[in-house]
A and B are shown apart, each in its own frame.
Chain A
Amino acid sequence: MSEDTASGRITEEGGRSLPSVPGRYVVGIVGLLLLALLPLLANMELGLGVPGVFVFVVDDLFLLHLTTALYFGMFAMSWDTVSGYTGQISFGHGLFFAVGAYTSALLNLGYGIDPILSIPAGIVLAAVAGIVIGVPALRLRGPYLSLVTLVAPLILLQLFIFRSDVFGGELGLRNPENFLGFGVNDAAIVYYIALGLFVAIMALLLVVTRSDAGRVFTAIREDEDAVSSVGINPAKFKIFAFVLSAAIGGLAGAMYVHTPVGGPTPTELMSTTVNVEVIIAAVLGGMGTIVGAAIGGIFVGIVPQLLDSSGWIIPGFLPVVGGTPVADIDFLIFAVITLFLLYVLPGGILRAVIRNGRRVRNSRRGDDGVATDGGQSERVFTRVLRGWREKRRGDDDE
């Protein structure tokens, strides 16, 4: 029986927790396995068991759609790294996606550089973009910071239009070479490459966010001055988050345009739709968890395709939208659902599930961890803005 000291109490509780792997990890691993095995189910029909409902065929086209969704998931994870964790909400994250993509595409199309080399160049330039945004952002807080991120892709687009000869303007450039030459006929391979990258990125981001840097990130979100007061330089970590997020976003973008499903166009990479969709994805999945953003990203990426294949039609009796295929207004539906969720569950679905799970567990043992893993009591949003609110009210000091 260990001494009743504080540290004794901790190891005791720690000991109790080791054997059981948290349920959500099990679900995650199962999910990944499913994704990995999917191409082996080629040409099988999958459905929800109810005839005619959500039946889709796992064919090449489906795998390519899922590839797009995977890249979007990577993009969403990159967004979560900076916005969900440090609370610097990026409203124009497509900027990094596009910088990585265009750099790689231009090097490939213009100079014949192989994707193996042009993609790293895309990553580097995207990281530079992260610095360009992150450093000035240090001087700004809250909405003003977000405003800068909102405007950045617009400026980039203006540049693309101004020099259409180089950048292809609003229509973008033609497709560059496929990565390692795998094209439409190699759907399964393209898919596996995407899946591999997805897992690698998730692993990397999980390692970073579960390390000490992760607790500093979330602490910055909570209260930057408190972080300074414990001898940690918040600026350093804020830039780190931006650069990491930008680099990952750039990596995803650069790889994406070298697949048969992605092309270097502003619409696909940094349109308002994309920028808002990534926010929706991370919000639906749960900000500040990485995994939530990944799931949200895949969800937002694939559901429109599923709806399209399913051929569902909105019931005719509904005003305005009655009689149209669901797929046509998928973005609208997402937006509405997100608004609803933001209103009711501002932390996202994943966080709500985790919170409920943790509540059950907490009654049996001590706390599990810190906000790197879904957060305890409050919504991420509330925390991000409390700091802003406090600054607005001002200190009551003399």
Chain B
Amino acid sequence: MLGTVAPLQANLSTVLVQIVILSSLYALVALGFTLIFGVGGVLNLAHGANITIGAFVAFVVSSQMGYGGFVGLAAAFVLTGLLSGAYYLGLIKRIQDEPIMVMIITLVTAVAVEEVIRFVYGSQPKVLTLLSGRVNIGGSTVTFTQLVAFALSALLIVGMFAFVNYTRQGKALLATSMSHKGAALVGIEANRINLLVWVGAGALAGAAGVFLGSIQGASWAMGRAPLVLSFSIVVLGGIGSIRGSVLGAFVVGTLEILTVQYVDSSLTGLTPLLVLVAVLLLRPEGLFGRELVEA
């Protein structure tokens, strides 16, 4: 899922630009997953499906209905968020104390969504345009879409960080992520926080889907690689750590670019897998995480 345009054996500034662009996109992809995992304590395996839904909502709104790229982006953001919230209320809330159950249900949901999309839209990727045009930065050709993705990512991440650390709602979120019981004791209603988190995560995933879709086309299975990526980043960064996810995104992004540029370009997509396995085996709590993994 690279989409960057640069020759092999490129120079340092090209590589750096690619890393920044890619990593910020990775961070956006993983952010929603981090939130749900950190606050709700569950792995939402339908995260990739949210990404796909976002991409196709944008496709429908911008291409099929003709409203243009940005309206499509906004629609993806809002609709995917709402859908995710509804999904939480309908299926997840009841079993949110049971992480394995949530994994199974969200996994089955994910494949169901893939099937529906494949059925309705076919197997061929759909073209999704947000912005056209490209620019040259530091020897690397960067499309305007990628720039917007980068800007939006940075904005959302900074915003999220500020929100979590400086607002009341945000602190409530942090509290819930550490202890449901403790949060309840001070009057924070975990369910409302969780709903907020699922809606937010869905919206972020939807936006990520639009960007991914504009780079590589929107297809029914497009959510799979981002899902694996999200695991890696979140496990590497540590649960419940936004800082960790951002750092994790950069680590994975860097490793990916370096692998493809300097080792073997056919090894694309392997990095997140290896990172995930390595982290789980060596340091399951990740870089910044709390020790929830080993008993």
Report if A332-B116 is in contact (Cβ < 8 Å); known contacts: A141-B293, A276-B107: yes
Complex alpha-carbon distance, A346 and B235, angstroms: 28
Give B270's nearest chain A residue, CB to CB: A158
Complex alpha-carbon distance, A272 and B46, angstroms: 13
A336 x B266 contact (CB < 8 A): no
Report if A381-B100 is in contact (Cβ < 8 Å); known contacts: A91-B107, A141-B294, A331-B115: yes
Complex alpha-carbon distance, A162 and B270, angstroms: 10
A151 x B231 contact (CB < 8 A): yes
Report if A146-B119 is in contact (Cβ < 8 Å); known contacts: A338-B108, A342-B108, A392-B41: no
Query: Counting CB contacts under 8 A, is B295 at the interface?
Result: yes
The contact string, 1 if C-beta is below 8 Å from chain A, for chain B 252-295, is 00000000000000110110011011001100100000001111
B116 x A276 contact (CB < 8 A): no
Number of A-B residue pairs, CB cutoff 8 Å, is 123
B43 x A381 contact (CB < 8 A): no
What chain A residues lie within 8 Å of B43 (beta carbons)? 143, 147
A136 x B98 contact (CB < 8 A): no
B94 x A276 contact (CB < 8 A): no
What chain A residues lie within 8 Å of B103 (beta carbons)? 89, 91, 143, 146
B101 x A385 contact (CB < 8 A): yes
Query: Counting CB contacts under 8 A, is A155 at the interface?
Result: yes
Report if A89-B104 is in contact (Cβ < 8 Å); known contacts: A136-B281, A144-B293, A321-B119: yes
Most B CB contacts (10 A, CB to CB) among A151, A280, A389 go to A151
Query: Counting CB contacts under 8 A, is B135 at the interface?
Result: no
A143 x B115 contact (CB < 8 A): no
What chain A residues lie within 8 Å of B116 (beta carbons)? 320, 332
A136 x B280 contact (CB < 8 A): yes
Residue in contact with B112 in the complex, picked from A147, A154, A335, CB distance below 8 Å: A335
Residue in contact with B292 in the complex, picked from A331, A339, A392, CB distance below 8 Å: A392
Give B91's nearest chain A residue, CB to CB: A343
What chain B residues lie within 8 Å of A336 (beta carbons)? 112
What chain A residues lie within 8 Å of B270 (beta carbons)? 155, 158, 162
Q: Which of B91-148 contact A (CB under 8 A)?
A: 91, 94, 97-101, 103-105, 107-109, 111-112, 115-116, 119-120
B119 x A161 contact (CB < 8 A): no
What chain B residues lie within 8 Å of A329 (beta carbons)? 115, 119
A328 x B91 contact (CB < 8 A): no
Query: Counting CB contacts under 8 A, is B171 at the interface?
Result: no
Min C-beta distance of B272 to chain A, whole Å: 9
Give B43's nearest chain A residue, CB to CB: A143
B277 x A148 contact (CB < 8 A): yes
Q: Which of A32-55 contact B (CB under 8 A)?
A: none
Report if A385-B100 is in contact (Cβ < 8 Å); known contacts: A154-B273, A276-B107, A342-B108: yes
What chain A residues lie within 8 Å of B98 (beta carbons)? 381-382, 385, 388-389
A140 x B277 contact (CB < 8 A): no
What chain A residues lie within 8 Å of B267 (beta carbons)? 158, 162
What chain A residues lie within 8 Å of B108 (beta carbons)? 276, 279-280, 335, 338-339, 342
Query: Counting CB contacts under 8 A, is B47 at the interface?
Result: no
Complex alpha-carbon distance, A392 and B224, angstroms: 28
Query: Counting CB contacts under 8 A, is A371 at the interface?
Result: no
What chain A residues lie within 8 Å of B111 (beta carbons)? 272-273, 276, 331, 335
Query: Counting CB contacts under 8 A, is B228 at the interface?
Result: yes
Q: Which of A304-354 contact B (CB under 8 A)?
A: 320-321, 324, 328-329, 331-332, 335-336, 338-339, 342-343, 346
Query: Counting CB contacts under 8 A, is A393 at the interface?
Result: yes
Complex alpha-carbon distance, A389 and B98, angstroms: 7
The contact string, 1 if C-beta is below 8 Å from chain B, for chain A 224-243, is 10000000000000000000
Report if A139-B101 is in contact (Cβ < 8 Å); known contacts: A329-B115, A342-B108, A391-B295: no
B119 x A144 contact (CB < 8 A): no
Query: Counting CB contacts under 8 A, is A183 at the interface?
Result: no
A158 x B269 contact (CB < 8 A): yes
A143 x B112 contact (CB < 8 A): no
Complex alpha-carbon distance, A205 and B295, angstroms: 30
B280 x A148 contact (CB < 8 A): yes
Complex alpha-carbon distance, A381 and B294, angstroms: 20
A-B contact pairs, 17 of them (CB 8 A): A139-B284, A140-B280, A140-B284, A142-B99, A143-B99, A146-B100, A155-B270, A276-B108, A320-B119, A336-B112, A339-B108, A343-B105, A382-B98, A385-B99, A388-B98, A391-B292, A393-B181
**A381-B101, A385-B99 are known contacts; what are 7 more A-B pairs with Cβ within 8 Å?**
A141-B295, A142-B100, A143-B100, A144-B284, A155-B270, A276-B108, A328-B119
A-B CB proximity, top 3 nearest: A335-B112, A385-B98, A332-B115
